Amino acid sequence: MQVIKIVLDCIQLWIPFKDTIMTKAMLSSPSVLIRCDGSKDIGFGHVFRCLALAGELIKSHNCRVVFAMRESEVGIKLVKKYYDVIPSDSSSGDFNYEQWLVQCIKASTSDILILDVRDGLNEQNMKTLRSLGVKIVTIDDPEEKRIQSDMAFYPPIPQIQEYSWAGFKGDLFVGWDYVVLRKEYFERKNRQQYKIKNILVAMGGSDNLNLTQMVVSILAPLEHDYSLNILLGPGYQYVSELKNTLDQAHIKNEIFVNPNNVAEIMSKSFFAIASFGVTAYELAALGIPSILVSISADHLKSASIFSEEGVSINIGEYSTFDKNQLLMEVNRLLGNPKLIEEMSGSALKLFKSNNLQLISEAIMTLMN
């Protein structure tokens, strides 16, 4: 494949975020291949958190990082702003996933492979990859391939106890401190006293189900003095319809499309209504209470850890939850600043350190 030859022949790689060129002398640094995807169907949370981890590995451990991505031009374009990407040609019917990953590992001369995907890799595939001498790290992985990983990171979700770990010989890290989040989510500021209470609506980077518009429609009857800050990701396709709904409901609002200062926008919120996913963890790290909507039964189960800690209100799966309950909970939070402060305090206690530093340091022990 031409793209692999290009990577093999390359002796100069741009280091993201720095005006520095990687030379031959630097090729002794640990080499990391990150496998992730982002698209309108699966969202972009995996991409954003992998970008954050890549930045920490470079900054703190002088790693060389290359990404391997299979789908979505939007997702690949996001990563290509900062890193080299080895894409696949999976359009043909005879695409061999295992063979492609083997080629990616050899092309990038990788010491470590980080997986943040759920797309069918199995234990046998992993054994083949391990035979190359590469160390394998997996993130928040429900698939059987986790058994063959050298290191696995998870939030404290209940599914961990339900998974089979027979045959796993790696290092397992479970807890709030092992959630991959960008550093800006730990730069906490004092919460403001709002004359007008901002409600953040954040339904993920793609929101393929257009939950944003559904939530806005539900909130239309509210009589409180409030405004909406609406976060839209790069894959959102319903901006015109959303603006029409907002205009018809006469709701004060500000729309942010794929902004660079997400943490800052979140921090200005009284509370948030969000789709469960990476966003839920980001909000909690900032101390922002949330009402969570889940898009699947598995997400709903994972989201239970937030309600158990008193930082979020879970209202169920999007297809079955009671819309009146959402309206009731929004009214309750708007009218109860003391409850907001209690939920915020509980959220801030969950994350005690810079997660990226902890995770990257753990990963680097694989080089010993």
Tens-binned pLDDT, residue by residue, of the chain (368 aa)? 333 333 333 323 333 433 334 444 455 799 999 999 988 778 888 999 999 999 999 999 999 999 999 977 888 999 999 999 999 976 666 889 999 999 999 999 999 999 999 998 999 999 999 999 999 999 999 999 999 999 999 999 999 999 999 999 999 999 999 999 998 998 866 555 555 689 999 998 889 899 999 999 999 988 888 999 999 988 899 999 999 999 998 899 999 998 989 999 999 999 999 999 999 999 999 999 999 999 999 999 999 999 999 999 999 999 998 999 999 999 999 999 999 999 999 999 998 778 999 999 999 999 98
Is 64 in the same domain as 94?
yes
How many alpha carbons fall within 13 Å on the CB side of residue 259? Answer: 14
Domain that holds residue 245: 184-348
Angle between helical axes of 278-286 and 297-308 (0-180°, round to 10): 10
Q: Which of 190, 198, 201 is nearest to 227 (CA)?
A: 198
Q: What is the pLDDT at residue 18? A: 35
Is 300 in the same domain as 190?
yes
The 3-state DSSP class for residue 69 equals strand
Taking the C-alpha atoms of residue 28 and residue 171, their distance in angstroms, rounded to an integer, is 25
Is 20 in the same domain as 96?
yes
Q: What is the CATH number of the domain that holds 126?
A: 3.40.50.11190
Taking the C-alpha atoms of residue 355 and residue 275, their distance in angstroms, rounded to an integer, is 22
Tokens of 328: 């009731």
Q: Tally the domains of the chain.
A: 2
Point out which residues pair with 275 in neighbouring strands. Answer: 293
Is 15 in the same domain as 151?
yes
Taking the C-alpha atoms of residue 173 and residue 178, their distance in angstroms, rounded to an integer, is 7
Beta-carbon contacts of residue 169 (< 8 Å; ≥ 6 apart): none
Is 340 in the same domain as 361?
no
Q: What is the pLDDT at residue 194? A: 56
232 and 212 Cβ atoms separated by less than 8 Å? yes
53, 261, 321 from 44: Cα distances, Å:
14, 16, 25
Is 34 in the same domain as 130?
yes
Is 264 in the same domain as 245?
yes
140 and 156 Cβ atoms separated by less than 8 Å? no
Is 276 in the same domain as 210?
yes
Q: What are phi and psi of 252, to 5 degrees?
A: -65, 135
Is 64 in the same domain as 213?
no
Q: What is the pLDDT at residue 285? A: 95
Is 334 in the same domain as 192?
yes
Is 141 in the same domain as 109?
yes
Is 38 in the same domain as 26?
yes
Taking the C-alpha atoms of residue 164 and residue 301, their distance in angstroms, rounded to an integer, is 17
Q: What is the CATH number of the domain that holds 333?
A: 3.40.50.2000
